[in-house]
Amino acid sequence: MTNNNYELIKNALRQSKQLQTLEVWIESFSQMFGFSVSEVKHLLDDLVDDESIYIDEVVYLLDPNIYTIGTFRVVRENFGFVENDLKSVYVGKDDFNQAMDMDTVLVSVSVKDDKEYGKIVKVIKRNRDVILGTMKFKNKKLTFIPYDLKITQAVEYQAGTMKLQEGQRVIGKITHVDDVIHCDIIDVLGSADEPGMDVRSVLFVYGIDVEFNDDVLKEIPNIPQEVDSSVLGRRMDHRDQYVITIDGEDAKDLDDAIYMEAKGNGYRLYVHIADVAHYVQAGSVIDKSALERSSSVYMVDRVVPMLPKELSNGVCSLHPNVERFVMTCQIDLDFNGGVIDYNIYESIITSKRRMSYNEVNSGEDLGEVQEMIDMMLDCASRLQYRREQAGSIGFDSDESQFIIDSKGNVLDVFRRKTGEAEEMIEAFMVCANEVVASHCKHQSIPILYRVHEKPTKEKMQELSHTLRILGYRMKGSLDDVHPKTIQKALEFFEGKPEYPVVSRLMLRSMSKAKYSETPVGHFGLALEDYAHFTSPIRRYPDLLLHQRLKKYLLNHDFSHFEQDELATIEAGKHTSSKERSILEAERQVEKIKKAQFMSDKIGERYTGFISGVSNFGIFVELPNTIEGLVHVRTLRDDYYQYDAAAQKMMGERTKKVYAVGQQVKVKLVAVDELEHSIQFEFIEPRKRGVKHHGRRRKKS
C-alpha cells in the first residue's frame, strides 16, 4: 500500500458531508478506488493504528479542524476544554454529552466568529473509576456531594450495609454514568473536618498514592544502607574533593553536589548527581513504581516521595561525611561562560559540608569554602549573562512559601524570594542539563528531553494587545516570536507595580513545557538542547536518563534499541500528563491552605494589584501571593461594563476604570470553606464633607 492510498481515503472522509457506517465506507471505498474489501480493511486498520481515524460504528477523520481526541478538563461547571498535544478546544456545558472531567473523548470542532468550539461526540474512556464526596443533608435527604468541584453531575449512590452520617468523607466506586453518576459507597475516610483530611482528599482526587504498593514494600529490605566502596570498578574517585551541597533548610533528598577549581582559561565545574540508577535498574519493581508516580509531590505540609525514603533520604541522598555513588558531569568553562570541554562518568564522593541557600546568601564569612563560593558566584554570573544574551526569559517567581506548625496549620504565607545562591545552583544545573542533553542527542541515545515550544501566534497577539494597554508595544513578528522579544518586554516592566502581573500574563501565554523523545528545544531558556539530568531522586525523566547513560554511554549496550525508543515515547506521554495532575494537586492544596489562613482575618484591609478581570469580577493579588475576587455585584457606585479585549472594567457614569496591574485597596469580606475562595471588596476613599448616609457634615 502506498501513502497515496491513505491520502485518497482521508481526502474522501474530509470531503464527505455526512458520517457513514463502517460497512458503507468499506463498500464506497472499494467502488470509488477499485480496491478489494480486504485492501480497504487493511488501509483502515493502518489509519486507526496511525491515529488518523477513529471507528465506532461510523468512521471519523481525526483532523484537528474536524474531529479530534483528547482529555476533557472541566474548568467550571459551565465550560471546559478538550486538550491534546495539538490543540485545546473550548466546550460549553450544553455540549458535555455526559462526559466527566478527565475522560478521554472524541470531540467535533467548529468555528464561529473566528473562535473554535467543540462538541463532545463520545466518551472513549472513563479515566475515573472512583469518586470522592462528602455526605450532607439536602432537602432532608442525605446526599453525596462531590468533593472535586470539576465533577458537574449529580451523584446517586448505594450505601449497601454502611450506615452513613452527615459530614463523612466517603469514596464511591462508579458503576455507570448517564445524566447522573451512579456509584456504590466502598469506604469512609473519616470526618470531612478532621485534621489533614483536606490534603488527603486532594491526593485521592488527583490519583496520588501516598503508600507504596506491596511489591515495592517487599523490595525495601534489600536496599543497602550504605555504598559498597570496596567495589569501585570504573568509578572515578573524588572523595578527596571538597564537595558541598547547597539546598533549602528543610531538604532531606539531596540529589546534587558541586565542586569547582580554577583553570588557566576559565573554570572546571563538577556537578555530582546522586546515582539512583545504580540502585534502581530499568524494569525493576521500584522502577515501575517510580514511572507510575513520575515525580515526588511537594504539598504545603508534607512530601509524597517518588522513591522509598530508604533511597530518597537514605543511600542516594548526598548527606555530608558519608560516601555516595554519583553520576558526574565535569564541565570546563571559559570566562564568557562557554563550554570548552565536558565529561560524563560514574564516580564516588564524600560531601564535606551541607550548606543552605540562606547561609550562602547571608554574606557572612563561610570559612574554608569562601574562596570556592566566590569563584562559583563569579562563574554563575557569567553563565547567567550568556543565557540572558541568548534570550533566556527570567519570569518572576510567584511561588508561595508557607510557615506551618506541627498540626499543619498555616502561620504565615509570603512570596518565595530567590537570592544569588539559588540563582547560582540553577545556573549550574541548567548548564549540566544542557551538556548532557546535547551529548545524548548527538549520540542518538533514547531519552526524554524537556521541551518548551514557541508560543502560538494567537497567544502572542492576545499578550501584545494587553501589554499595549499597559504601555508597552512588542517589537518584531508575532508569527515567529524570539525569546528576546519576551525578555525585553519583561525588562520594560521590571521595578514597576505591574511587573508581577505582567510576568504571570506572559507565563500564561507560553506553551506548556513537557517531556518528549524529540529534542525540539526549550523556548523559555533559549536552548536548542535541554533535558532533566540533575534530580533523579524526585523526577522520573532524570532517572530514565541516568539509566540510558549507563546502558549506552558507559556499557555500549545497543540491544533492544527500538524497544527503548518506544518505551521512551510512552514514558514521555505519561510523565507529562502526570506532571500536570501533580501541579494541579499542589496548587489546590495551596489554595486550601491560603483560604484557611485568611479565614480568621475577615474585615482586615490590604493593598494589592489587580491580577485579572472577568465578566463576573476583578481578581486582586496581595504581595504575599494570596488572591481573592471582588465580585461585580459589590461595585455599587456605578454600573460597570466588562471590556474583555482591554482586560478592564469601566463605569458607565463615572468612567472609573479597573484594569490589570492597577494598585488597589481591599477589605476581606468572606472566605468560602467549600470552594476555598477568598472574597474582597474595594475600599473607596471617603468623600470629604459627606457622611455614609449622605447628609452633609456640619461645619464647626
C-alpha cell at 170: 466517603
Interatomic CA distance for residues 29 and 37, integer angstroms = 8
Interatomic CA distance for residues 288 and 276, integer angstroms = 14
Query: Which has more pLDDT, 494 or 319?
Result: 319
Residue 177 structural domain = 130-194
Looking at the predicted structure, is the pLDDT value of residue 698 above 50? no
Nearest by Cα to 257 from 206, 326, 333: 326
Q: In this structure, are residues 688 and 694 in contact, taking their beta carbons and an 8 Å threshold?
A: no
Query: Which has more pLDDT, 18 or 553?
Result: 553
Query: Which has more pLDDT, 308 or 33?
Result: 308
Q: Are residues 559 and 618 in the same domain?
A: no
**Cβ-Cβ contacts under 8 Å for 481 (sequence gap 6 or more):** 454, 455, 460
Q: Would you place residue 112 in the very low, low, confident or very high pLDDT band (cuts 50, 70, 90)?
A: confident
Looking at the predicted structure, is the pLDDT value of residue 56 above 90? no
Q: What is the pLDDT of residue 394?
A: 77
C-alpha cell at 320: 555530608
Q: Are residues 148 and 107 in the same domain?
A: no
Domain boundary among 555, 589, 623: 589
Nearest by Cα to 491 from 625, 557, 415, 392: 392
Q: In this structure, are residues 256 and 224 in contact, taking their beta carbons and an 8 Å threshold?
A: no
End-to-end CA distance of the chain: 99
Looking at the predicted structure, is the pLDDT value of residue 690 above 60? no
The percentage of residues in the chain with a pLDDT greater than 70, rounded to a whole number, is 97
CATH number of the domain to which 12 belongs = 1.10.10
Q: What is the pLDDT of residue 419?
A: 92
Task: Out of 13-17, 281-285, 387-391, 529-533, pick the least confident.
Answer: 13-17
Backbone angles phi, psi at 76, to 5 degrees: -135, 175
- Cα-only R_g, the chain: 28
Q: Is 367 helix (H, G, I), strand (E, B) or coil?
A: helix
Q: What is the pLDDT of residue 105?
A: 95
Cα distances from 385 to residues 22, 138, 265, 336, 394, in angstroms, run 60, 61, 18, 9, 12
pTM of the model: 0.86
Quote the number of domains for the chain.
5
Q: Please check whether residue 220 lies inside any domain of the structure.
A: no
Q: Are residues 324 and 428 in the same domain?
A: yes
Q: What is the pLDDT of residue 696?
A: 37
Q: Please check whether residue 691 lies inside any domain of the structure.
A: no
Q: What is the pLDDT of residue 697?
A: 38
Q: Please check whether residue 214 lies inside any domain of the structure.
A: no
Looking at the predicted structure, is the pLDDT value of residue 700 above 70? no
Q: Is 47 helix (H, G, I), strand (E, B) or coil?
A: helix
Looking at the predicted structure, is the pLDDT value of residue 29 above 80? yes
Q: What is the pLDDT of residue 457?
A: 86
Nearest 10 degrees: Cα torsion 418, 424, 425, 426 = 70
**Cβ-Cβ contacts under 8 Å for 463 (sequence gap 6 or more):** 455, 474, 505, 506, 509
Q: Are residues 280 and 419 in the same domain?
A: yes
- Which one-letter amino acid corresponds to residue 487? Q
Interatomic CA distance for residues 438 and 451, integer angstroms = 13
Q: Are residues 342 and 403 in the same domain?
A: yes
* Beta strand pairing call for 244-247 and 353-356: parallel
Looking at the predicted structure, is the pLDDT value of residue 686 above 80? no
Q: How many CA atoms lie within 13 A of 589 on its CB side?
A: 30
Looking at the predicted structure, is the pLDDT value of residue 270 above 90? yes
Q: What is the pLDDT of residue 307?
A: 97
Looking at the predicted structure, is the pLDDT value of residue 540 above 50? yes
The enclosing H or E element of 588 equals helix 561-598
Looking at the predicted structure, is the pLDDT value of residue 305 above 60? yes
Q: What is the per-residue pLDDT across 457-485, written as a single tens digit (0 to 9) for each?
A: 888 888 888 888 888 998 888 888 888 88
Task: Out of 29-38, 168-177, 215-224, 535-544, pick the least confident.
Answer: 29-38
**For 310, which DSSP code?**
I
Interatomic CA distance for residues 548 and 558, integer angstroms = 10
The mean pLDDT of 454-459, rounded to a whole number, is: 87
Q: What is the pLDDT of residue 371?
A: 96
The mean pLDDT of 82-108, rounded to a whole number, is: 90
Q: Are residues 57 and 75 in the same domain?
A: no
CATH number of the domain to which 639 belongs = 2.40.50.140
Looking at the predicted structure, is the pLDDT value of residue 281 above 50? yes
Q: In this structure, are residues 238 and 328 in contact, taking their beta carbons and an 8 Å threshold?
A: yes
Interatomic CA distance for residues 481 and 667, integer angstroms = 41
Q: Would you place residue 449 in the very low, low, confident or very high pLDDT band (cuts 50, 70, 90)?
A: very high
Q: Please check whether residue 488 lies inside any domain of the structure.
A: no
The separation between CA 51 and the C-alpha centre of its own chain, rounded to angstroms, equals 26
Nearest by Cα to 315 from 286, 357, 356: 286
Interatomic CA distance for residues 616 and 424, integer angstroms = 43
Q: What is the pLDDT of residue 693?
A: 43
Q: What is the per-residue pLDDT across 139-151, written as a single tens digit (0 to 9) for each?
A: 889 999 999 888 9
Query: Which has more pLDDT, 529 or 1?
Result: 529
* Residues β-bridged to residue 401: 414
The mean pLDDT of 167-174, rounded to a whole number, is: 94
CB atoms closer than 10 angstroms to residue 75:
12
Q: Would you place residue 687 in the very low, low, confident or very high pLDDT band (cuts 50, 70, 90)?
A: low
Q: Please check whether residue 205 lies inside any domain of the structure.
A: no
Domain boundary among 125, 141, 168: 125
Nearest by Cα to 310 from 276, 352, 281: 276
Q: Please check whether residue 483 lies inside any domain of the structure.
A: no
Q: Are residues 264 and 238 in the same domain?
A: yes
Q: Are residues 110 and 162 in the same domain?
A: no
Q: Please check whether residue 700 lies inside any domain of the structure.
A: no
Q: Are residues 121 and 135 in the same domain?
A: no
Q: Are residues 377 and 444 in the same domain?
A: yes
Q: Please check whether residue 572 lies inside any domain of the structure.
A: yes
Q: What is the pLDDT of residue 699?
A: 37
The mean pLDDT of 561-572, rounded to a whole number, is: 96
Burial of 185 (0-12, 13-18, 19+ CB in 10 A): buried
Q: Are residues 418 and 538 in the same domain?
A: yes
Cα distances from 520 to residues 292, 438, 441, 517, 545, in angstroms, run 25, 12, 11, 9, 17
Q: Are residues 103 and 158 in the same domain?
A: no
Interatomic CA distance for residues 68 and 119, integer angstroms = 10
Looking at the predicted structure, is the pLDDT value of residue 396 above 70? no
The mean pLDDT of 259-278, rounded to a whole number, is: 96
Q: What is the per-residue pLDDT across 400-442, written as a single tens digit (0 to 9) for each?
A: 899 988 877 899 999 888 899 999 999 999 999 999 999 999 9
* Residues β-bridged to residue 690: 696
The percentage of residues in the chain with a pLDDT greater than 90, rounded to a whole number, is 62
Interatomic CA distance for residues 244 and 351, integer angstroms = 5
